[in-house]
Copies of this chain bind each other. A is one copy, B any other.
Amino acid sequence: MRQSQLFSKTRKDVSAEEQANNARLLLRAGFVDRTMAGVYTILPLGLRVRNKLEAVIREEMASIEAEELEMPALTPKHVWETTGRWEEMDDLYRFTSFYTQMELALGPTHEEIITPLAKQYITSYRDLPRYVYQIQDKYRDEKRAKSGLLRGREFSMKDLYSFHTSEEDLDRYYERVKEAYYRVYKRLNLESVTYLTYAPGGTFSKFSHEFQIINEVGEDTIYTCPHHQVAINAEIIDIQPSCPQCGETNLTEQNAIEVGNIFKLKTKFSKDFNLTFTDENGNTNPVMMGCFGIGVTRLLAAIVETFSDGEDSMYWPQEIAPFHVHLLHLSNDESSQEQAESVYSQLQNHGIEILFDNRKESPGKKFTDADLLGIPNRLIISPKSLENGGFELNGEIHTDINEIVTTLTKPVVSSSF
């Protein structure tokens, strides 16, 4: 992609619009635009990142045999009344159709849709287990939207729902999901800052688990163990904080961003909607359920908060970077321009995704913009690099374009932050 043709441009100052650094950086870099408080347009650069992030999640969902579907955002009142959440959830966007007078809500979660839906297809133990997920936009009528994309009013979520004959089978799958989540965070270079956090379990379970990323801007408070990469959410107030793995009570209070949660629903929703199955002996039992979320938009914002360097630089993990390499041509003379064009097309022919800064801008402006955009590899062609024998990739001069291809197409070894 030629940067001169990109729809978005970098912007200078957005501090009047946004308090949160994640939103400021993404706005300034042209990854998102702010439609209203807590609601964003994902611009082409941001969409490239989000699509890659979703691809990572989809691969890991496929690895645990989950099938993808897509539920609607519009949901009827009666399903929320069945579970008692129409009154209970105060951040539900509720409204009435002008024509039909039907009362509706925009879904902030989808247990109320998937459970009655599953009744169509699950009747016997032979139909179990089943695992379905979606990546879909969700809505919450937030009181204040002040954390940028970390807590929006419209945001993308991955939500997985599982259906089982027994609690043992649910427990087994719960562990498989946990491992899949670890693989997602590892692929995003978040391994060292991600804490498995014990959180309230609701009516039926002692605990649920959250995946929390340590970060000072996080809205959650967690207590981390010095010996294990686990933590306890401050919301669990009825127990003396101690590490669930080693009993250590000398824990550290830290701010964190919740980027995933796994939850045993057990029979709460299957009982509400009468989702049952017939077992081998002909007996009717309620289906056991689990639900497993990853906030996709929030994860994207958390990555910006984790890897940004001050207020002027982002840095994207290789797996989800909008482009593999940012090619900066730092001259207006024609011969080096020809060479830049040639390098651009040769690298593209090798399937390398390139953003080519071919704009008529000063080197200073190009470097500033490149820092802001945060593409992990930087390739410079300038009179100086050509004088030194070629092209400068991440600070090193290469004389041979094939060397550059080899370096850029090497399999990535995920490194921790």
A residues sitting closer than 8 Å to B (CB atoms) are 5-9, 11, 30, 33, 35-36, 39-44, 46-47, 65, 67-76, 90-91, 93-100, 102, 104, 106, 113, 117, 120-121, 130, 132, 137, 139, 141-143, 153-154
Contact = CB atoms under 8 A, between A and B. Distances in A.
B72 A39 contact: yes
Contact of A98 (B41, B90, B100): B90
A97 B141 contact: yes
Given A44-B69, A69-B47, A141-B97, A120 B74 contact: no
B121 A67 contact: no
25 contacts: A7-B69, A9-B121, A33-B117, A35-B71, A35-B72, A35-B74, A35-B117, A36-B75, A40-B72, A42-B70, A44-B68, A47-B68, A72-B137, A73-B73, A73-B137, A73-B154, A74-B139, A74-B154, A93-B97, A94-B95, A94-B98, A95-B95, A97-B141, A99-B141, A100-B143
A189 B288 CA distance: 45
B120 A76 contact: no
Contacts of A95: 93-96
A44 B132 contact: yes
Nearest to A139: B74
A205 to B, nearest CB: 25
Given A8-B120, A99-B142, 12 more contacts: A7-B69, A9-B120, A33-B117, A36-B74, A39-B74, A43-B69, A44-B132, A74-B139, A94-B98, A95-B96, A99-B141, A99-B143
Contacts of A154: 72-74
A35 B75 contact: yes
Contacts of A104: 93
A41 B121 contact: no
Contacts of A90: 98
A153 B7 CA distance: 31
Contacts of A139: 73-74
Contacts of A96: 95
B41 A70 contact: yes
Contacts of A33: 117, 120
A142 B68 CA distance: 28
B132 A7 contact: yes
A76 B36 contact: yes
